[in-house]
Chains A and B, each alone.
Chain A
Amino acid sequence: NAGVTQTPKFQVLKTGQSMTLQCAQDMNHNSMYWYRQDPGMGLRLIYYSASEGTTDKGEVPNGYNVSRLNKREFSLRLESAAPSQTSVYFCASSEGRLKGEAFFGQGTRLTVV
């Protein structure tokens, strides 16, 4: 059982380049999330999708877009990467109910130079 799978695991971009981070879950979860983690800042929510067909901004959405492609997949796109977007990105999923627990992918370490 793979759980939450993210690709790629590592990426180096030049300033201004674009890329899409992919995330897929096989737990039949309704809700999916994208977080970034920076030293001393903890996990900050970028965007989330409460259910298939819906997406909402989190705490730090600027510079990002998301697509909930289907129930399994939730992608994060950086249209024009900036050095401030250097971070570790985590995708997570949950059942989307009051007592649902979130499970994380292995993360993507992104460096923008």
Chain B
Amino acid sequence: QKEVEQNSGPLSVPEGAIASLNCTYSDRGSQSFFWYRQYSGKSPELIMSIYSNGDKEDGRFTAQLNKASQYVSLLIRDSQPSDSATYLCAVNPPSGTYKYIFGTGTRLKVLA
């Protein structure tokens, strides 16, 4: 079992719709979770971090964390073609060394 798992996609949504991206992790003691956006040929860019169960909203983005189910998600409201990218989920395992373990990413395509 991979430490961080994501569906590779592509996930296609129409412009203006809600895109829902999901991530599961294997280490139950993990406490820090991150979403990155990566455009083709570019470096990962931090979108959001979340540390507590529940929802965290930032503009059109909402991160959701459920530690009991070992599940973290990212919702993108009013999706735009410019949101088309690969979204990477990252987890800080509870080793105390703060190394970031990444999923393979979900490719999102927003159709105009």
Q: Which residues of A contact B (CB under 8 A)?
A: 31, 33, 35, 40-45, 48, 50, 56, 58, 90, 92, 94, 96-107
Chain B residues within 8 Å of A98, by CB: 31-32, 51, 92, 98
By a beta-carbon cutoff of 8 Å, the part of chain B in contact with chain A is: 8, 31-32, 34, 42-46, 49, 51, 88, 90, 92, 97-105
Distance between A42 CB and nearest chain B CB, rounded to angstroms: 4
The 8 closest A-B pairs by CB, nearest first: A42-B104, A43-B102, A104-B43, A107-B43, A104-B44, A50-B97, A42-B102, A102-B100
Q: How distant is the Cα of A102 from the Cα of B90 in the complex, in angstroms?
A: 10
Residues of chain A lying within 8 A (CB to CB) of residue B102 = 35, 42-44
Q: Which of B32, B42, B43, B100 contacts A99 (CB 8 A)?
A: B32
Kindly identify which residue among A31, A97, A102, A105 contacts B46, using a CB–CB cutoff of 8 Å.
A102
* A50/B98 contact (C-beta < 8 A), A101-B46, A102-B46, A105-B43 known: yes
- Asked if residues A101 and B98 are in contact (CB atoms below 8 Å), the reply is no
Note all chain A residues with C-beta closer than 8 A to B88. Answer: 42-43
